[in-house]
Copies of this chain bind each other. A is one copy, B any other.
Amino acid sequence: MIALLGGSGYVGGAYQTYFQQRGIPYQSLTRAELDYTDLKTLNQWLKQEKPDFLINAAGYTGKPNVDACEADKHNCLFGNAVFPGIVAEACAGAGIQWGQVSSGCIYTGCREDGKGFTEDDKPNFSFRTDNCSFYSGTKALGEEVLKDAENAYVWRLRIPFNHEDSPRNYLSKLMRYARLLEATNSISQLNEFVEATFACFEKQVPFGIYNVTNPGEVTTSEVAKMIEDHGLAPHEFSFFDDEVEFMKKAAITPRSNCVLDASKLENAGIKLTPVREAISQALENWIPEKNV
């Protein structure tokens, strides 16, 4: 049995769908049933139920976007930096392998050599570089907290998307925003992310950090063009002049836009679809929100 924390969220929901489709026994814990944010409570449950694996898809993202984290700092810190530490301690105490849904938003840009950031590169969009949103700061701290965690995977997700229209889906966001910010990013097809992360456990690849993004990088305007080409653009796309105008008119806190290197996961034998192909597939199979 797989234990799932945060099953009601966007990522957690995709894990539930995946387990149901594959007929994998799992239990999605809810805080109403079990206060799993309490170390002793979670540890006791793990010892009793002995799940084969635990996935922590719980976290604090801010709704409708990361700006909301700036006004709720302590809950953001708890959800993204403290809680992963509690899960690590509970799992270590019960001898349970587990995985943390982390985020690639702890980087900005690309490496000096023009390549994507690898798992060995130090986050450059964090409290320690003092250029980040509070959200990204807490996510980077969360990885520091897990640095010595035993039997743990840390999976970095980046701007999730798939074929199902949703306020949390990157493609839907581009369709809905009044104006867009041009940027270059590595991004993650949500269902492939779920499959790939679970494959880490199934194949027992070495524990540690993995960038789980579709290989490659895309610009906002490339994705916008693809949306238009698939006849899914609700209006003509318009762009902010630059990040300065974006920050002035549309945002409270800076966004992470970055390129990640996905080769560590690929070298472990787990492949995701190249990013443009993954976007095309999502747009070809697009399901409007009312039909999801």
Q: Are B74 and A81 in contact (CB under 8 A)?
A: yes
Question: Cα distance A77–B89 when bound, in Å?
Answer: 15
- Segment of A124-132, A180-188, A263-271 engaged in the interface with chain B: A124-132
Most buried by B among A82, A129, A134, A144: A82
Q: Are A73 and B130 in contact (CB under 8 A)?
A: no
Q: Are B127 and A73 in contact (CB under 8 A)?
A: no
Question: B residues within 8 A CB of A89?
Answer: 74
A51 interface hit (Cβ, 8 Å): no
Which listed residue, B74, B126, B128, touches A85 by the CB 8 Å rule? B74
A78 interface hit (Cβ, 8 Å): yes
Question: B residues within 8 A CB of A83?
Answer: 74
Complex: chain B residue closest to A132, CB-CB: B128
Complex: chain B residue closest to A73, CB-CB: B145
Question: Cα distance A89–B75 when bound, in Å?
Answer: 11
Most buried by B among A74, A85, A129: A74
Question: B residues within 8 A CB of A74?
Answer: 81-86, 88-89, 145
The oligomer's copy count stands at: 2
A141 interface hit (Cβ, 8 Å): yes
Which listed residue, B75, B85, B86, B127, touches A127 by the CB 8 Å rule? B127
A104 interface hit (Cβ, 8 Å): no
A137 interface hit (Cβ, 8 Å): yes
Question: B residues within 8 A CB of A145?
Answer: 73-74, 77
Complex: chain B residue closest to A37, CB-CB: B38
Question: Cα distance A145–B137 when bound, in Å?
Answer: 13
Q: Are A141 and B86 in contact (CB under 8 A)?
A: no
A92 to chain B, nearest CB (A): 12
A200 to chain B, nearest CB (A): 23
Complex: chain B residue closest to A131, CB-CB: B128
Question: Cα distance A78–B86 when bound, in Å?
Answer: 10
For this complex, 16 residue pairs linking A to B, each with C-beta atoms less than 8 Å apart, are: A73-B85, A73-B144, A74-B81, A74-B145, A75-B85, A77-B77, A77-B81, A77-B85, A77-B141, A78-B78, A82-B82, A127-B127, A127-B128, A127-B141, A128-B130, A134-B144
Q: 6 smallest A-B Cβ distances: which pairs?
A: A74-B85, A127-B127, A128-B130, A73-B145, A78-B82, A74-B82
